[in-house]
């Protein structure tokens, strides 16, 4: 299989998530980064390209210049897809431009900074028929796939209760006023959109819940709070959920919990058992049977499904998680473009992104009105 030639928009020096994407796309040798516009600052783009060993001629000063310049290259040299790793407000414009020019797109979450923009992007994906992946990377963890398989097989019965939380503590103070780049853009409505913690980590929790259970949230009641004085966006969120099939749930996302780093946890309780998974201990999935017996399933062992084992790269006992989750999405994206079946190359899509934006929109309306809001 030839490597998928990729360009990147965003992720220049001083960024965090761009470097994560670059590691992930290179991990399996199925993608290759050959061009990029890494920053609005051309000097940053040139420095980033030099550090990555890219051809200086393909360090483009803008995404528009990259689009036009790459289109002029021979078909066997130009990029085939683009990875978008900018702050939220800059996802849609390059995505639409590259899709309409015939390129496939992989984009960081959330999909956009507004539901209207997300729906517009989804319409372009449908119109062009191009491939579009969204990097909800936790869906690429082997034991998340195992949990999804167990529930789909009916092994814990009908889902009754779901509890998901994503707790961090890094924004417990006004870090954004210290010049810290990651804090600055995430707390700026002009770059992050109308929400803070809810968009940054709450959408991960929401996607994980629906991805694993296979059930959709039908309505919700949200309380969005801002605890740090002067902060313009939410830094703590509590959401009550009603799911299809009669299940209920609770979602909490917070960035003001001292001592918490990336504490994403999921607990699912059914009529015949329960599941529990924690992102900070990604190799373990706890399965509780109806009689109370508890089993801990481990990544890459014979006790797990073939679907779960297909996402594991290492022998049992070697932790796999964050980077590998991203890499599994990039691998699936590359293979889909090369013609693999959807079953062999599954990844979150633009529809998952729109779903997350509808969740944000409903939470904003609910919190403002102190009322239940529909998500159907």
DSSP 175: G
DSSP 141: S
Cα distance between residue 327 and residue 281, in whole Å: 18
CA dist 36 → 41, 125, 209, 282 (Å): 12, 22, 34, 32
pLDDT tens string 58-74:
999 999 999 999 999 99
Cα distance between residue 334 and residue 329, in whole Å: 9
Largest CA distance in the chain: 65
Taking residues 15-19, report their average pLDDT. 93
Domains and CATH numbers, the chain: 4-137 (3.40.50.720), 142-313+350-369 (3.30.360.10)
Confidence at residue 114, expressed as pLDDT on a 0 to 100 scale:
95
pTM: 0.95
Q: Among 25, 30, 29, 20, which residue's Cα sits nearest to residue 337? A: 30
Percentage with pLDDT > 90 across the chain: 96
16 pLDDT more than 80: yes
| DSSP element (H, E) containing 285 | strand 284-289
Structure tokens at 366: 């609910």
Confidence at residue 376, expressed as pLDDT on a 0 to 100 scale:
76
Confidence at residue 249, expressed as pLDDT on a 0 to 100 scale:
98
Mean residue pLDDT of the chain comes to: 96
Confidence at residue 306, expressed as pLDDT on a 0 to 100 scale:
94
Taking residues 98-110, report their average pLDDT. 97
Question: Band of the pLDDT at 319, cuts 50, 70, 90?
Answer: confident
Question: Band of the pLDDT at 103, cuts 50, 70, 90?
Answer: very high
Q: How many residues does the chain have?
A: 376
CA dist 57 → 4, 25, 84, 136 (Å): 19, 22, 20, 32
Confidence at residue 190, expressed as pLDDT on a 0 to 100 scale:
95
Question: Band of the pLDDT at 1, cuts 50, 70, 90?
Answer: low
Round to the nearest angstrom and report the end-to-end CA distance of the chain: 41
46 pLDDT more than 90: yes
87 pLDDT more than 80: yes
pLDDT tens string 188-219:
999 999 999 999 999 999 999 999 999 999 99
Angle formed at CA 299 by CA 294 and CA 304, multiple of 5 degrees: 70
DSSP H helical segments within 230-285, as ranges? Answer: none
Taking residues 330-334, report their average pLDDT. 97
224 pLDDT more than 70: yes
Confidence at residue 156, expressed as pLDDT on a 0 to 100 scale:
98
CA dist 192 → 37, 96, 102, 172 (Å): 20, 19, 28, 18
């Amino acid at each position: 299989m030839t490597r998928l030639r990729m360009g990147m928009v965003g992720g220049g020096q001083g960024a965090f998530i761009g470097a994560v994407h670059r590691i992930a796309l290179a991990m399996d040798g199925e993608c290759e980064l050959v061009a990029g516009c890494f920053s609005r600052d051309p000097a940053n783009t040139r420095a980033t390209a030099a550090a990555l060993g890219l051809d200086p001629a393909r360090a483009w000063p803008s995404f528009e210049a990259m689009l036009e310049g790459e289109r002029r290259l021979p078909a066997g040299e130009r990029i085939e897809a683009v990875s978008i790793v900018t702050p939220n407000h800059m996802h849609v414009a390059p995505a639409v431009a590259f899709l309409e020019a015939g390129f496939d797109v992989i984009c960081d979450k959330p999909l956009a900074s507004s539901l209207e923009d997300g729906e517009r992007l989804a319409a372009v994906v449908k119109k062009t028929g191009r491939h579009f992946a969204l990097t909800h990377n936790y869906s690429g963890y082997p034991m998340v796939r195992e949990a999804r398989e167990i529930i789909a097989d009916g092994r814990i019965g009908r889902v009754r209760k779901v509890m998901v939380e994503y707790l961090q503590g890094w924004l417990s103070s006004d870090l954004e006023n210290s010049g810290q780049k990651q804090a600055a853009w995430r707390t700026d409505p002009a770059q992050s959109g109308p929400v803070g913690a809810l968009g940054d980590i709450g959408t991960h929790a929401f996607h994980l819940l629906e991805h694993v259970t296979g059930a959709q949230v039908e309505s919700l009641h949200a309380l969005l709070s801002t605890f740090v004085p002067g902060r313009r966006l939410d830094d703590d969120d509590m959401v009550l959920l009603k799911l299809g099939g009669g299940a209920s749930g609770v979602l909490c996302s917070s960035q003001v919990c001292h001592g918490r780093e990336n504490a994403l946890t999921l607990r699912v309780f059914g009529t015949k058992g329960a599941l529990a998974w924690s992102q900070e201990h990604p190799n373990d999935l706890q399965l509780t049977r109806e009689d109370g017996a508890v089993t801990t399933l481990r990544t890459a062992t014979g006790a797990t499904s073939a679907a779960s084992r297909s996402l594991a790269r290492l022998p049992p006992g070697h932790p796999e998680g964050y980077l590998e989750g991203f890499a599994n999405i990039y691998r699936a994206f590359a293979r889909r473009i090369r013609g693999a079946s959807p079953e062999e190359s599954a990844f979150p899509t633009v529809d998952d992104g729109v779903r997350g934006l509808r969740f944000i929109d409903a939470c904003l309306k609910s919190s403002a009105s102190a009322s239940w809001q529909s998500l159907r």
